[in-house]
Structure 1
Amino acid sequence: MKKSVIKILIMCGCIIFSQSMKSNMVFAAENDMTKINMNTVAVSTKTVNDINDNSSKENAKNSNDEKLPQHMSADVASINAISKIDVPVDKSWKIRFNMPLDLNSVKSKIKIINKDTGAEISSSISLSENDTVVTISSHCDPNSSYSLIIDKDLKSKSNKALNNPVYVEFKTAGQTASVPDKTDSLISYIDDINVTIKENEKFSFPDTINANMSNGTTKKVNVSWDKHAEVSSKPGTYTYYGTIDGYSKKVRLNLTINDLKSSDNTVKEVRVDSTNDVNLTVKQNDSFTAPDTIDGITSDGQTVKVKVKWDTPITTNRQPGRYTYYGTAEGCLVKAVLNLTITAPEIKTHSDFQKNLYNYLSNADNRQSVMTRAIELHGGDLSNNCAYFASEALRRAGLSDLPESVANTRTLTAELLSRGWKKSTNLDELKSGDICFTIAYDSSGPTHTYTFMKWVDPNYHEYAYICDNQGNEYEGDPYHQRNINFATETKDPISYFMYVPQQ
């Protein structure tokens, strides 16, 4: 009898496992802060492919786009419970789904429970990346056990649901210092403090210092020092350590005392109260080296040159705009600031129309607006929108008579040719604002179309910055890099490009 019961239970377990693999909606969770590899449950290719319904396949016939293999990294899958220990108390869980979700469903079907008390933890839940990524932020107690629960009735916008609930069991890490406001969970790091004084000069340890917080801000925090320097200290460099409530690491202060007999010609580090902001303007992708010294202001109002080390690399390989960088100036407790304005490089176009198209798509809000309209024109379908995207961008740049019904690359090519556009295969002639088409495998036409913005390196025709409907693969931005004259596993090479000749 016992053996029969065991067999029945095993059989039921197999059936449950089998059914759970048939879920219409699958997802993966990731932690973009720590990149921790968790125990995973494999999701078969068939499970992912089953998501495409007949209407999607029918739309694919009417709108060409590259056929990309669907894939995912499953840190959390739709079956079984996942266990994790030493999780930060302020961890933000990011869960990536393979289809857009309904926000109301997300907020009501995902929760975090304290396993010790049974109480639900207050959480902030939001959607991003075209409503396919859920972010759950909460503050948990240290050394406590929790369950992140995703209800099986969680619905996508197309009303699909998980067949089984998901449980992520985790235990939070402990804090090395006990403090009511849990400062340790908020402080990311504190820079070393470097101070230089003259022999016999009075020096007082600071009561507060700047701490770099986990949310990217800077906050003044109280510090207690282990020991203090005396006025009679001999010339040399001395290191002192301080502690901050709730911060597990020691804060280090390097105090350099210069000999009064040192030569006046010797370059001496100075103690400054503040620094002047550095304001620079450069062109996008120009060669640039950040300054290693800046103007420091001493307590008596003098301006001196002090060395500076920037917190992050400073580059011009970013979109035109104004960017602020921070650094540590020697002898100064206040962060140095560098404001870098990146201007758009001079572009070359075949015509004023191509220039209008380039300028319009150079604006991030405009690109997102074009993407939204392309999805609407395709009946709400998120895939195979390349022709819709390119056509909508062309209309907004001035080609107002281009029909909104243009749905594939073959039709788009014919429409442009009928308006006097020129077709070329010479990549030396490819310029900003031109419309590119990839190779075709059959009579349906090229597999993809996009707008050329500029070469990554003008001396090579391998990679370029382009605009198309595939921004979901590049952190949601239609503006991104792409291979041009060669194929990759998922991207086809260019076949030809088109532009309107200058009148």
Structure 2
Amino acid sequence: MIHKFKNFLVLLSIVFCIQFVFNYNVHAYNNLNNSENANERIVSEDISKKDINNGNLVSRLNEDEEEDFCIFPIKSGVENNKSWKVHFNKPVRESSLYDNVKIIDKSNSEEIKIKLSLENDRILIVSPLENYDYGKIYCLTISKFVRSKDDTILNNSVKMDFQLDNIIKDIPTAEVTINQEDEFKFPSTVSALMSDGSNKDFKVTWDNCNVCTSFPGNYTFYGNVKNYKNKVVLNLKINPFVNVEKISNNKIVQSKEQTNLYNYLMNHNNRESVLKRAIQLHDGDPSNTCVYFASEALRRSGVNLPNSVCNTGKLNNETIKNYSLSYQLKSRGWCVSKDLSQLLPGDICFTTCDSGGRPTHVYTFMKWVKKDDYSYAYICDNQGYEYNNSYHKRNIKIATSSKDAFNYFMYKPC
């Protein structure tokens, strides 16, 4: 005999109902552990007089037990301690449940230990005594020889396979510590602890990716991973910059003034103050203020430059000496170098020259983006409006479509 069955999938619960002879029904439920809606029956359908031809539910002869049984579609995504709730439409005889309700481990065809308990005389709870194993398929079996108190038996035995999905159990909070002005990129993936004990990476989408590392402090960010109900948490700690006492390499020891310059420009508020003053010196015009910016920062670091300095200038044959930064520094004993391997934080860098023989831009070198790679560096200049920060990344050895390449730098020998 073949019946028609309709499968309902609602949130985390499927509900299925079979109409048996003598109007004796079984309603089998997911018993959602720790859920306030665990006992709610969503829907049922009387299928006693319907034919099945879609293959979802079949009735056949079990040759070993000589029982007709109905097979339900496999249920996936089961929790590892799932209890099943079985509803009968008549009061059930408790003694008939034993040996007639089983859960079979299909990997070895052995019964697992279960606990049977009656919520009332019509509702049976089937619970595992030990957690199910991930990766295995189990079969819940209800024999037709379960009897009601008026001695009615089921028309068919019922079998339903179920399996545990390897789901995300937890995504630990990410703890990240960086230094002030370090570049920080939010991770595109996070490592999750899976229900089988393994670890797996998942794509994460962050609610807010805006972070400025110029300001020390502790910050918390939240993200989302598909099919994970909780928020992903990332705690970011930005350590404050500590002034350095000495800057050097294997050939050069940085001057006191340039060490002061580096320390001063590592402070965001200082940079903003320098930029504001540079614009004032340029009669309120924020454009082309790179020399005003560099000169003002140098003045605040102990280099006595006139306020008139406003041009990058020429290293030789300069005719506008009071306006030329290159000339003013050279006249104070500063040296010129083109050796990028000797570039130190606090050095004043000049780009390639325009048709008039003067560099097109000037900036203060802060550090390399990548050690021993002279393509890009972190610098300080007046162009913070382009990067939302006067401390930013810039091309050095290479030229881009909008930025000229490095030409030389100047430093004061000790």
Normalising by structure 2, we get a TM-score of 0.50
Of Structure 1 and Structure 2, which has the larger fraction of its residues in helix? 1
**Taking CA–CA contacts closer than 8 Å with sequence separation of 6 or more, which of the two structures ends up with the larger relative contact order?**
1
Q: TM-score, normalised by structure 1?
A: 0.42
Larger Rg: 2
